[in-house]
Structure 1
Amino acid sequence: MGPVSRIALLGFCVVGIFSAYITQGVLQETLSTKKFGSDGKRFEHLPFLNFAQNVVCFFWSLLMILIWTKKTDHQAPLWMYWSASLTNSIGPACGIVALKYISYPAQVLVKSSKMIPVMLMGSIIYGVKYKLPEYICTFLVAGGVSTFALFKSKAKSIPKPNAPLGYSLCFINLAMDGFTNATQDSISAKFPKTTAWHIMLGMNLWGSIFSFLYLFAWNGGGGVEAVTFCKEHPDAAWEIVIFCLCGAVGQNFIFLTISKFGSLATTTITTTRKFMSILVSSVWSGSPLSAQQWMGVIMVFGGLSVQIYLKWQRMQKRTVKLRKL
């Protein structure tokens, strides 16, 4: 592939990731705050979004495997994904439910600070030593999140404002994501020929099972109520369908970017996308952030940008060493 073709493909991936996830973010915020129908009811059953997306992504990945991948016996068995899928079901569900208590920009900002628990776990449990620039990145991110949380914006009404509970749910989401990522890395290391589509299939299969059991196996799950709400409010059902399709399309573009350009390019794109999501949310909802909150946003993404640059430097040094060999 020539340089022009690579640039065109990268641009295509960037547009795909931005379009899918920014649209999904707007829909997620709408579903958590909007009043539907003539009765003015809110969609209270936000964990249902996680279940619906799991089901759509499962069938999407199955379709992609049947169309695009060759038959191979070197894939990780589906049962291995149960633990990662369990935390991947609990984590995002907590993140979605947090939108009842905090704003969408606040949720995105906290979820962007994944490096904080990673570094804490690495240094406390495994004795990993980090360099000064890495600690500076962490303090910038932590300071940015704290600054954002301390100041209020002119936000539109949140269903049940409760900042401590909302931020706590987001941090549970981060902790669960850390376990999910570590388990996925372990599976990939044991079965290096496992394709991204098979990982997506296994994760969403178990995710669908766990979410179904939580929502429909007992009276308090809210699954039946969510389905009833969608029947009575077709506009909400339509937004949920688009929300799920955005997630499936977004995962496609992320896998394509990783396979063609590597994880560093993917991290850069997704980090920029999160910043754009906050900007679009602020403009779209008519709920401008305060100057102090924008300072917090800039601190967080400044820290993340430095982290990306440090990763790029390490990759460059590794490339130089390999060339010398």
Structure 2
Amino acid sequence: MPAPAAYYRTGPAARSVEIMVKAGQDASSSFQNNSARDNANGEGNKSEPLLGVRMETLSSTNQFLFCTAGILFFYMIYGYVQEALFHISGMKSHALYLTLAQFALYSCFSYLEMRLQQQTRKIPIETYLFLAFLTLGTMGLSNLSLGYLNYPTQVIFKSCKLIPVMIGSVIIVGRRYGPIDISAVMLMCVGLAWFTLADSAVYPQFNYTGILIIMLALCADALIGNYQEKAMKQHDAGNTEVVLYSYGIGFGYLLAGLVGTGNFLHSVQYFNEDPVWKYSHVALYALSGYLGIKFVLTAIKLFGALVAVTVTTLRKALTMTLSFIVFSKPFTVQYLWSGLIILLGVSLNVYGKNRARIDPLLLQVWLRFSQRRSKAPLPADVQSV
């Protein structure tokens, strides 16, 4: 039986409800106030244009729609072209050369951006030497894993970066985690195990080597986030600079490795068998990935990690759906159930990191639902939300 409206105006719970409703008002209004606050502080005038559009000229709603559309559009293209490339006969043996071309184009794009914006390097080269190594590990191993894994399996594993992050934090820093984080990781582990077993049963080219490679890529990805954020805050550096030097130096590492192993000329010969089709798709692959990164970083800056993670999670779900529709591959209902378990784990992780913002909003929804069932008037504080 729902509680009467008077309960929320008087009684022992009144003060706590009032506080949470007020916090909910602040959280729900923060979405609309972000761009206005940036403009008031002068931050909006300093923002980098995105596809020629200065975000401070748009309303908060239009900013959100623009960022969401950009993330979905460019990453859908990115995922489609990536899988199309690896469906070409022989491409799986040249995944690292594909990564080399991707690094070269990312470096060119970011170099042009820095020149147009007249930016200079702020982070020391010594920092970038290690950051480039992690970038190479993340991107190179991720592409290499597609030589062994089904594309949806790779996407699923990349959605579970929390697992190596938590393990590394416990071992290296001795950090303690609460029950929400532990539950999220357990759900992800169960979902990954179930998805992997389903994939091994229906996918004839399944190889556990791919699982090892993608896990190493996740470990590098888990390290790069914290290291990159620390360097950018310490030296007040922009995203474009980090992309240029991370991928530029990483290009040098990878080129030296391919030349040293004798695989460089072999890959060049392979790509020259059909250069127009292959290199045009590589260019589209790199351009869509680069623009997708720019939209994600802009969404994080404007709306915070919660909104960005929600949109990118939706993007991964749509990418997997597109993969099953466009590229013929076996399907089992176990994919769906295990994917839902992983999605629950990801959602629980997002909730654990944003409880201060999410709890008041959930309370507002519950109050409205309860009042409708009891057909009693809403409290004044709730009505104003």
**TM-score bucket (shorter structure):** 0.7 to 0.9
> Within 1, Cα distance between the matches of 2:248 and 2:257?
15
Q: CA RMSD in A?
A: 2.4
The reply on whether 1:15 has 2:69 as its aligned counterpart is yes
Task: Name 1:112's counterpart in structure 2.
Answer: 159
Q: Tell me how far 1:284 sits from its aligned partner.
A: 1.2
CA deviations over 1:124-182 (Å, ceiling 9, x no partner): 3322121111111111111111000111389776xxx3421110101010111122223
> Within 2, Cα distance between the matches of 1:180 and 1:42?
27
Asked if 2 retains the 8 angstrom alpha-carbon contact of 1:117 and 1:175, the reply is yes
1:287-298 to 2 correspondences below 5 Å: 287-298=329-340
> Within 2, Cα distance between the matches of 1:309 and 1:142?
18
> Within 2, Cα distance between the matches of 1:109 and 1:96?
14
CA deviations over 1:173-231 (Å, ceiling 9, x no partner): 0111122223213312421x111111111111111111111122441xx2222222222
Sort the Cα spacing of 1:67 and 1:260 in 2 relative to 1 into closer, same or farther, 3 A: farther
- Is there any run of 5+ residues in structure 1 with no aligned partner, and where? 36-40, 318-325
SS at match of 1:58: helix
The reply on whether 1:270 has 2:339 as its aligned counterpart is no
Residue from 212, 227, 251 that aligns with 2:268:
227
CA deviations over 1:38-89 (Å, ceiling 9, x no partner): xxx5452011121111111111111112223x5467x212342111211211
- Scaled by the length of structure 2, the TM-score of the pair is 0.73
Q: Tell me how far 1:120 sits from its aligned partner.
A: 1.4
1:1-325 to 2 correspondences below 5 Å: 1=35, 5-35=59-89, 41-42=90-91, 44-68=93-117, 71=119, 75-152=122-199, 161-191=205-235, 193-219=236-262, 222-233=263-274, 234-314=276-356
The worse-fitting range, judged by mean Cα deviation, of 302-311 and 197-206 is 302-311
> Within 1, Cα distance between the matches of 2:356 and 2:245?
32
Sort the Cα spacing of 1:11 and 1:152 in 2 relative to 1 into closer, same or farther, 3 A: same
Task: Name 2:364's counterpart in structure 1.
Answer: none
Task: Name 1:320's counterpart in structure 2.
Answer: none
- Is there any run of 5+ residues in structure 2 with no aligned partner, and where? 1-34, 37-55, 360-385
Q: What fraction of aligned residue pairs are identical, expressed as a percent?
A: 23
The worse-fitting range, judged by mean Cα deviation, of 18-27 and 194-203 is 18-27
Sort the Cα spacing of 1:42 and 1:115 in 2 relative to 1 into closer, same or farther, 3 A: closer
- Scaled by the length of structure 1, the TM-score of the pair is 0.86
Asked if 2 retains the 8 angstrom alpha-carbon contact of 1:153 and 1:289, the reply is no
Structure ID, larger Rg: 2
Q: Tell me how far 1:94 sits from its aligned partner.
A: 1.6
